[in-house]
Every structure is written in C-alpha cells, then in structure tokens.
Amino acid sequence: MREKADSDLVRRQNRLLLLEALRQHGAMARVDMGRHTGLSPASITSISSQLIGDGILEEAHTPHTAAEGPQRRGRPTTQIDFNPKGANVVAVKVSIDGLELALADARGAILARRTSRSATHDADSAAFGKLVADEITALLTKARVPTRRVARVGIAVQGVADSQAGTVVWSPAFRGRNISVAAAIEERLGIACRVANDANMIAEGLIGSDRKRYGGTAAVVFMGWGVGMGLIINGQVYHGPTGAAAEFGHMNHLPDGPLCRCGRRGCVEAYVADYSLLRWASGHAATQPPSSNAIPPDDMLALEAAAHRGEPAAVSAYAKAGEALGFGLARLIAILTPARIVLAGPGTRAMPLIRPHLERALEQGVVDELRRTVEIEVVPIDTDMIIKGTIDRALRHVDREIFAHGPLKKGRELETVA
C-alpha cells in the first residue's frame, strides 16, 4: 500500500493488466482479455480502443487464415496485438571478450543484431559509455530505426551491477570498479537505460517464458566461467537494497578453502567455476591465484572427457564441485526454501558427474521436510537467453512506465507512435 488510489491509478492499473495479459499469452481477442483480466466487455472495449488510438496496440487484419480450429458460429473475433511500431528496445550483453547487441520491436521480435569484439577490459566510464553508445547507434543505423523510437536500453553484465545507480560495481569484464554506464548512455543518446546482472536477466527470461513455473519463488544458478544467481521472490526478480544481485557464487562454502577470483577463500565459485575445476584437476595448489584469462571451451570438454574416462584427478574435481554446490544450495534452502532451483549454463553439461555428490551434500545439509518441497531442475540454457531476458525486462518496463500511463500529455515527448 504505497500509492493513493484515484481514477488515474485505476486507468494505469487496468491498462497494465491488459498489456500484461497480452505479453503473457500473445495476440488475443477482446473477449479473451476480459477473461484474463476480469474486466467487463464494456471496459475492455474502452481500454483497448484507447490503446489502439495511442499506437500501442493494433487490430490484426489477418485474412483470418491462421484462425485456430474450425470456424465457430457467431461474430468472429478480431485479434489484438502489440503494434510493433509502438516502441523499440535495445539489449546489450557485456562479456569478457566483447559486446553483443540486439534491437527488438514492441512485440519482442528481434529486428537486428550486432556483435563487437572491442576490448572493454581497460575501459573507464567515459570510454565504455562512448563505446556502447556508438555500437547502439550503429545497430540502429543498420536497422533504419531512429534513436527516438527506442524507449529503453537494457545492459547485462557478469558480476555485481548496481541497478539503482546504473553502475557496474565489479565485473570480470573490467579491470576498474564502479564503472558508471547508465548515466553515460542516457546522456549521449537520451534513452532510459538500466544495468543488471546477467543471471538476473536469465531469471527474467524464465519468468517471461513460463510464469506458472517460475513465477513464485525460485533461484536460477548459472554455472560456467563463473557462478551467478538470480533470485525470484514472489514473482519478482530480487534486487537487494543496494540494487546488487545475489552473490551466490561468492557465498563461502568452507573457511580457508581454495582462493577465489574475488580474493576471499572458500567461495562456492572457487569450487564450481570452470577455472576451479581445471585448477583441481591440474593438481595445482588450491591457494594458486586463479587465471584471469578466458578459458577455451575445449579445455572444459577435455576435462569432462577425462572424468568420464575415470581419471582420478578429474573425477575428484567434479566431486568437490558437487559437494560445494550441494552445500551451497542447502544453505540457500535453509534461508529461503524456494519452490524451484534452476541450474543453468555451460557448466551443467557435467551434471552427470556432479549430481551424485550434490545430492549427497543436500541430504547432509537440509532437513528432509524442506528438501522435499524444493524441485531442482537443469536447464541447458542457450546464451541467447540473457539477451532475450534483457529484452523481456525492458519491454515489461516500457509497458509499466510508458504504455500504462496513457496519452502522454505533457512531460516526456517520446515519439512512440508511427
């Protein structure tokens, strides 16, 4: 109970209700909107016609060929969907070896992509801001979309992002700390911009893909070059008080454990991440500082093969990873008891090697009653999930902050209409 209720709130809330139904179920007739929102047909007519007038939705004039099933009696429905020209969003994924960009329309369809191998590692706020802004401009030029049509930019990074301040607090992609990103983009391009952790964006994408399944309380653990986590609490991706994401990867497993990239010892990541597995297997001391170079995928494949062949060092590396991951999840369950834990990322390829040890750790670490209520599933996520999640999140934000507000009288003059 935050906001006072008046007719303005009613309009926003119901417009948003309708937009959300459309996002979730795709194009639908007015009747279906009524079913999904609980609003009366009269209200649906009124709201939808306004949204169409605002250029946000449009009636599908499909020659009804794609009509599902046999034609039923009665007046045929007219499908309504987002107007693709209503607004655009841009998603940017920052990784160690470059940038990946995508431009999407209001329906979430990707219109153009762009990849850049520019080195970001040594960039400071100014340089990185310019780089991203230039890349976005190039992407828009290619797609012939004017800048003012872009309602929002979402940026996903590995590491700790402060989404409130719009900065990258710490990331393996940068040598520096507290790189300010959002402000630079907003200043250079005049587009609202949001920075977020990449695991959170995967969580966002999962919510978008199946609200039933992932909409309650769930944790998404990303295993690969590092270990990240996105937390969904009551259907919302959790950003802590400071806007930073959960740092499951840097949760301690054992005091005085192996050295982690973050400088502490015994973090979960120092057992489970790619570099950690290789370090165990190569017989190097656990106190050896982890390499900061990117790891060629082939190295991991070779390690997995070795473990499958039964080579002791490799087998034991995965055993240690499984135990650390299992106790980590056990601790997570003790605190939050999420309904579902999703393991994702390239690291899950080795799940058959890890799983038995993970399960054993869970048995040791969690009371049976709790363990049974948590479902653990493995989703081999294609990397594009980060981009898609970023787009999803940006669009949901546009729905809420721009589309739901109705005819933008005064104030921002964002040209969202064709």
Partner DNA sequence: AACATTTTTTTGGACGCCGAAATAAAACAA
Partner DNA sequence: TTGTTTTATTTCGGCGTCCAAAAAAATGTT
Q: Which residues are near a copy of itself by CB under 8 A?
A: 1, 4-7, 9-10, 13-14, 16-17, 20, 37-39, 160, 169-170, 216-217, 229, 231, 233, 238, 240-242, 244, 246-248, 250-252, 254-256, 262-266, 323, 327, 330-332, 334-339, 361, 364-367, 369-370, 373
Q: Return the one option of a copy of itself, DNA, none that residue 217 interacts with (CB less than 5 to 8 A, by type).
A: a copy of itself
User: Of the candidates 136, 155, 161, 156, which has an alpha carbon nearest to the alpha carbon of residue 146?
Assistant: 136
Pattern 46-75, DNA, x by CB under 7 A: xxxx---------------------xxxxx
Judged by CB under 7 A, the residue of 19, 39, 99, 270 near DNA is 39
Given candidates 24, 43, 147, 252, which one binds DNA under the rule CB under 7 A?
43
Contact assessment for residue 80 and residue 33, using Cβ atoms and an 8 Å cutoff: yes
For residue 81, report the phi and psi dihedrals to the nearest 5 degrees.
Answer: -145, 170
Q: Which of 226, 204, 222, 224 is nearest to 214 (CA)?
A: 204
Angle in degrees, CA 115, 120, 125, rounded to 5: 120
Please choose which of a copy of itself, DNA, none residue 216 contacts, taking the beta carbon within 5 to 8 angstroms, the exact cut-off set by kind.
a copy of itself
Q: Which does 332 bind (CB under 5 to 8 A by kind): DNA, a copy of itself, none?
A: a copy of itself
Rounded distance between C-alpha atoms, residue 324 and residue 252, angstroms: 9
Nearby residues of 268 by Cβ (< 8 Å), 6 or more positions away: 227, 248, 249, 250, 251, 252, 253, 324, 325, 328
Q: What distance in Å separates the CA atoms of residue 380 and residue 383, rounded to the nearest whole number?
A: 9
Nearer to a copy of itself, 100 or 247 (CB): 247
Cβ-based nearer residue to a copy of itself, 153 or 395: 395
* Residue 134 to residue 260: CA distance in whole angstroms: 35
Does residue 364 contact residue 176 with C-beta atoms inside 8 Å? no
Minimum distance, C-beta of residue 130 to a copy of itself, in the bound complex (Å)? 26
Residue 98 C-beta: closest distance to a copy of itself, Å? 26
Which one of a copy of itself, DNA, none is in contact with 197 (Cβ closer than 5 to 8 A by kind)?
none
Of the residues 26, 38, 352, 356, which one makes contact with DNA according to CB under 7 A: 38
Rule CB under 7 A: say whether 413 interacts with DNA: no
Task: Yes or no: say if 245 and 199 are a contact pair by the CB < 8 Å rule.
Answer: yes
Determine the size of the site formed for DNA (CB under 7 A).
32
Rule CB under 7 A: say whether 5 interacts with DNA.
yes
Q: Which does 293 bind (CB under 5 to 8 A by kind): a copy of itself, DNA, none?
A: none
Q: Which of 25, 40, 115, 363 binds DNA (CB under 7 A)?
A: 40
> What, of DNA, a copy of itself, none, does residue 241 touch, CB below 5 to 8 Å by kind?
a copy of itself
